[in-house]
Structure 1
Amino acid sequence: MTTDHGGTTAEPRQGSNRLKGLMILGVVVVSALVFLAWSQSWGTVGVTGDGASGRTLDVPGATAAPALAALGLAGLASAAALAIAGPVIRIVLGVLQVLLGASIALSGAGPLIDPVTAGAPVVTAATGVAGKESIRAIAESEAVTAWPVVAIVLGALLAALGVAVAVTTTRWPTSGRRYQSARFASEDGRVRGADDLLDLVDDETDPDETTPGVAESPDDAAVRRKAASVDNWDSLSRGTDPTA
């Protein structure tokens, strides 16, 4: 018995599997680092004014760029979808990752451009002062950490990975099939498919369909016995005793 597995060689298949694995791993790593950036301190804001002179407030990433958590989660979800998606869906997911990367980069750029506005919720929670102009009157940025820049870089990397996914999707391996068609070869080189074997089983079990006076060749008899064995195993798998 020989099984037809297609003409794909082992080396190209391993290369495509490696490419797929690296792409998905890259998306997972970048998305996880986005969560790390979101959890860190992005800077400090100094507050002056009534009762709070010289007070320094820490501005966490969760406050300066709250959308990063959702964007990182979306990146992880897209990585999981890439593992099972077909070629067309992979292109759509690649475009989605480009948009996610751009959003992450914009989230990181905001606190760099206007750190006081990014830390406004912290100032309001500490002083009770609300309103953009009121906060600017009592607060000023004292320091900005490197994490906003890290978020911008991570956004660019995720966007680049999205482009790579969309461009290389045709080189990814197709989803594996649970069952592959089997082809049986007799000793004389003739190849029979599953339908041929079923026909042989039907001919063996139905005496009315046999042709009188026609002698069966040894090869056909061997193939018939193989087919009957396959049919018996199928019956056992369905809970039926073929000898009953």
Structure 2
Amino acid sequence: MTRRARLLAVVALVACGAVTVISATQTWLVVVLDDGAGHTLEVPGAAAIPVLAPLGLAVLALGGALSIVGLALRYAFGALTVLIAVILGWFTGQIVFAHPVGAVASTVTESTGITGEAAVAELVAAITPTAWPAVTLVTTIVLAAAGAFTLVTAHRWKGSGRRYRTEDGPAPIAAAGSRPHDAIDSWDDLSRGEDPTTRPLD
């Protein structure tokens, strides 16, 4: 069960991060301009929410690292995952339910050269969302649940392999007398402030 818990958390984070990064490249909003010709503009997720792609990449990194870190970092990563989910959920929810002009302003400005949110608002006749904002909002809910699941179950996860652990310190030195004392050992003695000439002969 503990192994499954870790695997479930890792898979959930990686999947949510991947969906978020993909979503950043997809069309989120379609804007109809009140310019006499009714031109339309497609607004990608990265333009609607500039932090979408960076936070998606951060979630991917957290998911990968979560598979090897110790207990303290599991809690830290779980809390950070919840925080990222809240941030993404807040921005995404505004687009899903409110379709704010600010989300399309940069795309409209790039296309028309008109700046200022008020001027852009006068030029925009309609804003229609695609399915991607809703998909991303659901993803943030799953992400928040995965972060909370990590916080609740992290203490029961089996420890990561020894090759990933640094808190155990360096490998133990071979017991004295297990092999002849050579020149390298003498240098080690000197580095510790010991006089190798006083060491008894092997």
> TM-score scaled to structure 1, two decimals?
0.64
Indicate conservation of the 8 Å contact 1:120/1:135, yes or no: yes
1:81: Cα distance to partner? 2.2
Other-structure match for 1:28:
14
Residues 1-244 of structure 1: matches in 2 within 5 Å?
Answer: 15-49=1-35, 53-112=37-96, 113-177=98-162
Amino acid at match of 2:119: S
Q: Is the 8 A contact 1:65 1:118 kept in 2?
A: yes
- CA-to-aligned-CA distance 1:24-48 (integer Å, 9 cap, x gap): 1111011101111111101211112
Give the number of the structure whose alpha-carbon radius of gyration is greater.
1
Structure 2: unaligned runs, 5 residues or longer: 164-174, 182-202
Flag the structure with more relative contact order, 1 or 2, with Cα contacts below 8 A and sequence separation at least 6. 2
Shift of 1:116: 2.5
Distance between the aligned counterparts of 2:132 and 2:10, measured in 1? 24
Amino acid in structure 2 at the alignment position of 1:20:
R
Distance 1:167 1:89 in 2: 13
Whole-angstrom CA distance in 1 between matches of 2:9 and 2:64:
11
* TM-score normalised according to structure 2 size: 0.76
Give the letter aligned to residue 31 of structure 1. Answer: G
Give the superposition deviation at 1:139.
0.8
The separation in 1 between residues aligned to 2:146 and 2:80, in whole angstroms, is 11
User: 2: CA distance between counterparts of 1:62 and 1:175?
Assistant: 36
Return the alpha-carbon distance in structure 1 between the equivalents of residues 124 and 161 of structure 2.
Answer: 59
Flag structure 1 segments of 5+ consecutive residues without an equivalent.
1-14, 179-197, 203-230, 236-244
The change in CA–CA distance for 1:140 and 1:18 in structure 2 (over 3 A counts) is same
User: How far apart are the structure 1 equivalents of 2:75 and 2:133?
Assistant: 29
CA contact (8 A) 2:5 2:157 kept: yes
